[in-house]
Amino acid sequence: MGPLQIVAGREREVAGERLQLPLVRRAAIVRSQQASRITWHRHEQFEMLLMLDGATSYEFDDGRTVDLPGGHFLVVPPGLRHRGLHDIRRPARLCGLLFDPRPRGAAKHTPLTGGDIRRLTKTLQNAPVDACPMSGELRRVTTALARQLNQFDPSDAVAALELRLTLCAAIVEAAGQLAAPRSVAPTAAVQAAIAFLDANLGRPIGMRETAAAAGCSRARLFALFKQSTGLTPNDYLLRARIAKSQELLAAGNRSITDIALTCGFSTSQYFSNVFRKYTGHTPTDFRNTRP
């Protein structure tokens, strides 16, 4: 679907033409352990990026950078030049759509009326280019979209109909969120928790202790943290420890066990298992591939 920031993973792409859906040019589900900077590019259509898990970042030619964590989505308008940035918050799972409600006939084979299409276009054109938290409904629809893209059989007419409806539902639900007044997320507790986790990567950390540092209950912190970052506090902690271990692995010849303990892992075996989960490589393989 044109350049996507997440690469070196599994991707399944379906063209809107194959679905007889003029509204959508392409839709893709991408799963990846790695991320890589891509060249500057722009699309003639709207690009919608729905991040289910992990996180990534995009840079725009006005100098702005937008972080896109799991549980958030981003709509890039036609013609806006942008590129994806390196990112270590992975593995990632993202649904990407290229679509355009502006051309004549865009509503064909959709449940949308001409008025719906005009309101949709106006909403998208006026929406800020920023990461927006997914509603529960949009996350449900995006999860269904990821599953349907993975399993899509072009010879199955029922599957094509189901995918058409799900694509329309994702676009309409996202536009509805963009049109609604956006509340300010309570981030003070999350920022305090992140600062505490980052300052204590090298020792055992309990969630009760983290919640105390954030000034809220564990349940409240979990909900706020997930809403703000798309991650649980423990997932954030593991990813931060892996990022620190990558710096140490690339910087010198310290032993794997020493690096594991420095980064808060109880054993080198546990460290290796977590490192492989988040990067797709063992610590040794990662070190050997560094220039």
β-strands 6-15, 55-60 pairing: unpaired
User: Among 1.10.10.60, 1.10.486.10, 1.10.240.10, 3.40.50.740, what is the CATH number of 188-288?
Assistant: 1.10.10.60
Q: Spell out the residues 6+ positions from residue 105 whose beta carbon is closer than 8 angstroms to its own.
A: 22
**Interacting residues of 81 by C-beta distance below 8 A, sequence separation 6+:** 40, 41, 42, 60, 61
For helices 233-251 and 207-214, give the axis angle rounded to 10 degrees.
Answer: 100
Tens digit of pLDDT at every position of the chain (291 positions): 444 433 344 578 999 999 999 999 999 998 775 545 567 889 999 999 999 887 788 888 877 888 888 888 999 999 999 988 755 445 678 999 999 999 999 999 999 999 999 999 999 999 889 888 888 899 999 999 999 999 999 899 999 999 999 999 999 999 999 988 655 455 788 889 999 999 999 999 989 999 999 998 989 888 888 877 777 899 889 988 998 998 899 888 899 999 999 999 999 999 999 998 877 789 998 888 766
pLDDT at 33: 57
So what CATH class is 6-179? mainly beta
Q: Where are the domains of the chain?
A: 6-179, 188-288
